[in-house]
Amino acid sequence: MHRHHVDVYLLLKVFLKSIAREAAYLGDNHRDFLVGCAILAYNGHEYGIFWGANFMPFTKPGPKICAEINALRNTRRAGFQEIIAIVVAGLPQKDEVTGKTPRTLPPCVDCRSNLSGWKGVSPDTMIYTVHRFEEVEEERTFAHLLEEYALS
């Protein structure tokens, strides 16, 4: 990733964290499992910040849409192609595939798969996950996230 992208990300990190946390309040989930996401992206000329919250309807089975995907759609809609960082604010829960119990909420198995094919998300994209209320955070590149949650 371009050095300047990293500098901008580091400069805006705390801001991105608050946006992700605020976005969580706009989530819609029947068991109050609220997740917020903030994305730092680049369109070739300027940087942009986009957000999304999770959506899970009362009626089951229904379409579940993760905060990450909503934020990525907003980013794409605005014409920002290059995804520099994805910041997720949530409460930790056990990963349904690996059984790992992280200290923050990493992108779920569906999101990990979607992100792998998402245009503009690169192995260098930063995945920064923060607890909604406590100062607990984890940060790694998307490549490292995939390694961390690999099945084998």
Q: Which residues sit at the interface with Zn ion, rule CB under 5 A?
A: 66, 108, 111
> Shortest gap between Cβ of 54 and Zn ion (angstroms)?
8
Closest to Zn ion by CB, 68 vs 82, is 68
> Shortest gap between Cβ of 130 and Zn ion (angstroms)?
16
Partners of 48 in the β-ladder: 41
Closest to Zn ion by CB, 12 vs 38, is 38
> Shortest gap between Cβ of 111 and Zn ion (angstroms)?
3
* Cα 60–Cα 65–Cα 67 angle in degrees, nearest 5: 135
Closest to Zn ion by CB, 39 vs 108, is 108
